[in-house]
Amino acid sequence: QKEVEQNSGPLSVPEGAIASLNCTYSDRGSQSFFWYRQYSGKSPELIMFIYSNGDKEDGRFTAQLNKASQYVSLLIRDSQPSDSATYLCAVYNQGGKLIFGQGTELSVKP
């Protein structure tokens, strides 16, 4: 079992819709969770982080964390074509390493 798992996609949504990206992790002791966005040919860019159970909102982005289910998600409201990218979920394990999922490719169609 991989430490951090994501659906690879591609996930295709129409412009203006809500995109929902999901991630599960295996280390029950993990405390810190991150979402990075990576455009093709570019490096990962931090867009959200969450440490506590529940929701955290920042503009059009909402991160949701459920530690009991070992599940973290990212919602993108009013999706725009410029949101088309690969979204990487990252989790610190108890060994102190930031482990990345394989990423979910998002495509927002005009």
**Which residues make up the interface to other proteins (CB under 8 A)?**
31-32, 34, 36, 42-46, 49, 51, 88, 90, 92, 95-103
State the Cα–Cα distance between residues 97 and 18, nearest whole angstrom.
31
CB 64 to other proteins: min, Å: 18
Fill in the amino acid letter for 23. Answer: C
Compute the least distance from the CB of residue 82 to other proteins, in Å. 19
Structural contact between residues 13 and 108, judged by C-beta atoms closer than 8 angstroms: yes
Q: How far is the CB of 16 from other proteins (least distance, A)?
A: 30
